[in-house]
C-alpha cells in the first residue's frame, strides 16, 4: 500500500452582506480559498450563477489543477527520459454540462500543451513526446481521479531557432 497524503484548504464566504441568504439574489458568491502558508485565492461563482467575473471559479481551478498535474508529471517524465524541456505552456479547456434542474458535471477536458524541447527536429520526436504525455496522463493524480475523458492535443517544437514560447 502506498503513502497517504492529506490536503487541507479553508473556504471563507465573504458575501453575506446585510441580508445573508434571505433570497437567491441577496448575497454575493464571493469567497476566499486559502491554505496554510500560501497566498489566498479570491474566488466566486461563474458569472452565469451570479458570480464575480473578475474572480476565479471552482470550475477554473478544477481545470487548472488537472492541467498543472499533467504538466508536472510530463516534466518529470521528460527529465527521467533525458528530454530537455525549455518551455511548456497549456491552454486547457473544460466542458461542463448543466442540466435543467441545475445539477451538472464536466464531460471532458482538453489539454493543449505547447512544448519546446532541445533537439534538431529529430526523427521520432513527436512520437517520443506523445509517449511522455501518455505516461504523464497515466500518472497524474487528478486525471486518475475523474470519470470523464481527458484529451491531450500536444504541439512540440525544437528549441533550435526558437526564441520564445509558442503562440499558436
- Taking the CA atoms of residue 124, residue 126, residue 129 and residue 135 in that order, the dihedral angle to the nearest 10 degrees is -90
Phi, psi of 124 (to 5 degrees): 85, 0
Mean of the pLDDT values across residues 46-64? Answer: 95
With H, G, I as helix, E, B as strand and everything else as coil, classify residue 23. Answer: coil
What are 62-114's pLDDT values in tens digits? Answer: 999 999 999 999 999 999 998 999 999 999 999 999 999 989 999 999 999 99
74, 131 Cβ separation under 8 angstroms: no
DSSP state of 145: G
Mean pLDDT of the chain: 90
| CATH 3.30.300.20 location in the chain | 58-158
Higher pLDDT, 163 or 148: 148
**Residue 117: is it exposed, middle or buried by C-beta count within 10 angstroms (0-12/13-18/19+)?**
buried
Average pLDDT over residues 126-145: 94
In whole angstroms, give the CA distance from residue 58 to residue 46: 8
Cell of 74: 510530463
Please choose, from the candidates 97, 105, 91, 95, the residue with its C-alpha nearest in 3D space to the C-alpha of residue 153: 91
Q: Kindly state the cell numbers that stand for 41.
A: 485565492
Q: Per the structure block, which three cell numbers stand in for 71? A: 504538466
- The string of pLDDT tens digits covering residues 111-123 is 999 999 987 667 8
Superfamily of domain 58-158: K homology (KH) domain (3.30.300.20)
Is 31 in contact with 45 (CB distance < 8 Å)? no
Q: Residue 167: pLDDT above 60?
A: no
Amino acid at each position: 500500500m502506498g503513502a497517504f497524503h492529506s490536503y487541507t484548504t479553508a473556504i471563507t464566504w465573504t458575501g453575506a452582506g446585510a441580508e445573508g441568504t434571505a433570497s437567491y439574489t441577496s448575497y454575493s458568491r464571493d469567497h476566499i480559498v486559502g491554505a496554510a502558508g500560501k497566498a489566498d485565492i479570491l474566488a466566486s461563482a461563474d458569472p452565469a450563477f451570479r458570480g464575480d467575473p473578475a474572480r476565479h471559479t471552482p470550475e477554473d481551478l478544477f481545470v487548472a489543477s488537472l492541467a498543472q498535474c499533467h504538466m508536472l508529471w510530463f516534466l518529470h517524465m521528460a527529465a527521467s527520459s533525458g528530454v530537455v524541456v525549455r518551455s511548456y505552456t497549456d491552454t486547457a479547456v473544460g466542458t461542463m454540462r448543466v442540466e435543467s434542474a441545475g445539477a451538472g458535471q464536466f464531460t471532458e477536458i482538453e489539454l493543449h500543451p505547447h512544448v519546446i524541447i532541445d533537439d534538431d527536429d529529430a526523427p521520432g520526436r513527436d512520437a517520443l513526446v506523445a509517449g511522455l504525455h501518455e505516461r504523464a496522463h497515466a500518472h497524474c493524480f487528478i486525471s486518475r481521479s475523474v470519470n470523464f475523458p481527458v484529451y491531450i492535443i500536444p504541439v512540440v517544437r525544437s528549441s533550435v531557432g526558437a526564441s520564445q514560447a509558442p503562440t499558436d
